[in-house]
Chains A and B, each alone.
Chain A
Amino acid sequence: MFEYDFMRNAFAAATIVALLSGSVGYFLVLRGQTFAGHALAHVGFTGATGAVLIGVAPLWGLVLMTVAAGVAMGFFGEHLAQRDVAIGLVLAFALALGLLFLHFYTAFATQATTLLFGNVLAVDVSTVYTLLGLGALSLAILAIISRPLLFASLQPELAEAKGVSLRLYGVLFLAIVALTTAECAQIVGVLLVFALMIGPAAAAQQWTSAVTTGVLLSAGLALVEAWCGITLAFYTDWPSSFWITALSVAVYLLAVLPRRLRALQPV
């Protein structure tokens, strides 16, 4: 299957995105902000449709809109109690904008399907390079801030007392999540971003008890799920986003179910 250009592009794109989303997802699950990832993906749809409307590549609309929304969420939602409200408001406004764009431009049904559900087999070489650049940037920022970010996630009050700015790292992290969401949307579409960003990370947290091995396992699982998903799509001709999502769900169930079943059994 590697004799085809589109397959080589698909594997390259999936590799970059899986490594990034697996690592970022670990922190997202640890911080209990998975809903933020979900919301950013929806906001990204609005950005992408807006970009198409003005004749720009949808990826840049995605990037711009998700990063702006992520930073806004980070600034307004410092406390857990307020976070849901902040995300909800940003989400509502973004969807309203999306409605407006659809109102102005009604002829892009196929474009909309690609944005919503992704099509990794349609990724071209220049997109792969863009994904590589954005992915390397995001991973580098995450690596640089990972220690204070971990501290602020696990012990916010203590981190604050030790001089860690909760707001700064909250904003920076959501900006990284936003970039990751935009990258993920290229592979599985905005509606299925959860499959690559949350599924492997949540499974990895069930199997590991240390942060470093957890992040590595999460990235590894995302990579295997993406590769296998594309391979299965190639041989079955079913959509790759379906296979990636199905594998992600299966791996998560595999991580969670044995312990749940054991808990149910009488001692």
Chain B
Amino acid sequence: MNAIELDDVSLTLGGRRVLGGISFAIAAGRFVGVLGANGAGKTTLMRAILGLVAPSHGAIRVRGQPATRGNPAVGYMPQVLSAAPQGTRLSGWDFVASVANGHRLGLPILGREKRAEIGCALDLVGAGKLARRPLAEISGGERQRLLLAQTLIGRPQLLLLDEPLISLDPHHQQEVVELVKALQRELGITVLFSAHEINPLLGAIDQVLYLGNGQAALGAIDEVITAPVLSRLYGSAIDVIRVRGRIFVMSGSHDVEHEEHRHEAGHEHAAHEGHVDHV
């Protein structure tokens, strides 16, 4: 069974067509890197798979069923840049635990079984001790670990991770990628992992889903990260240069993916508050 199928899907956001008539299928158990420039539709695609954005055309299926909100088989890590509530000493544990049965009415008091599941998820990402500290006092990399543990609650079969590497230094980026890879293997789940740059994901991902120009290309790294495919997706002449196991996507003399990364720093807030990067 395929984890995700898109059949001639068009997505529109704020009157602008983000993706136009794309079709692909991602087999279960794959680790897929989702790449593309700002505004290429990475977040919008994930929100569509979650059932939060309805396609203007075509159909999206998740594990054979139409994409709907609240599918317990799908875990999601939003692109959150200021997750810590200010002025509180709320622990990471309580933050992670808020997802457990979070959609159901009642008091936020958890039974033994749910508490054990949260402990288990925290242990899987190596954050058992970390979770006892106040959320406001932990570093960006540590917070990503907690958010990752949160996605695992409810034992999802598909994880959608929206830019987990944002605002992390290269060392912590590598840690997060390795952690996700280990989880994906151990739990045998499908992972969509969006990023600005392909290099931190090399060696971990099975496939690349590259978005651009309203289109998408899915395949192995060597099939997708090529001059002809990327020239089509960026709508301009692209060179792909490989140096000592690293890949540089160049338009003329500048590195397209790297440029994106630098732009992002200045737009973090705007992007978070209203998905401005896709409007």
Contacts and interface: CB of A to CB of B under 8 A. Distances in A.
Given A161-B69, A163-B103, A150 B108 contact: yes
Contacts of B108: 146-147, 150, 211-212
A208 B274 CA distance: 32
A109 B106 CA distance: 45
A97 interface: no
Contacts of A212: 108-109
Contacts of B80: 155, 157
Contacts of B85: 30, 32, 153-154
A90 interface: no
Contacts of B95: 154-155
B94 A147 contact: no
A161 B105 contact: no
A81 interface: yes
Contacts of B83: 154-155
Contacts of A206: 88-89
A148 interface: yes
A61 B90 CA distance: 37
A211 B135 CA distance: 13
Nearest to B80: A157
From B80, B85, B101, residue with most partner A Cβ within 10 Å: B85
Contact of A30 (B88, B99, B132): B88
A210 B99 contact: no
Contacts of B90: 30, 154, 205, 209-211, 214
A150 B88 contact: no
Contact of B101 (A147, A158, A205): A147
A211 B89 CA distance: 10
A79 interface: yes
Given A79-B273, A147-B102, A155 B78 contact: yes
Interface string B90-101: 110111001101
B89 A143 contact: no
Contacts of B99: 151, 155, 158, 162
B107 A143 contact: yes
Nearest to B275: A157
Given A81-B273, A162-B99, A157 B106 contact: no
B44 interface: no
Q: Which of the four size classes fits the interface of chain A?
A: 35 or more
Contacts of A80: 273
Nearest to B46: A161
Interface string B144-155: 000000100000
Interface string B37-73: 0000000000100111000000000000000011000
Contacts of A160: 52, 69
B246 to A, nearest CB: 32
Interface string A200-226: 001001111111101000000000000
A178 B19 CA distance: 43
A145 B104 CA distance: 8
Given A146-B108, A147-B107, A154 B98 contact: yes
From B52, B86, B108, residue with most partner A Cβ within 10 Å: B108
B105 to A, nearest CB: 5
Given A150-B108, A154-B98, A163-B70, A209 B103 contact: no
A154 B108 CA distance: 13
B87 interface: yes
Interface string B167-187: 000000000000000000000
A150 B101 CA distance: 11
Contact of B150 (A32, A158, A205): A158
Contact of B70 (A29, A153, A162, A208): A162
A150 to B, nearest CB: 5
Interface in A61-89: 79-81
Nearest to A202: B87
B104 A211 contact: no
A161 B104 contact: no
B134 interface: yes
7 contacts: A81-B273, A148-B104, A150-B102, A158-B78, A162-B70, A202-B87, A205-B87
| Among all A-B residue pairs, the 7 with the closest Cβ atoms | A163-B70, A151-B102, A157-B78, A209-B91, A205-B88, A147-B108, A161-B50
Interface of B: 47, 50-52, 69-70, 74, 76-78, 80, 83, 85-91, 93-95, 98-99, 101-109, 132, 134, 150, 273-274
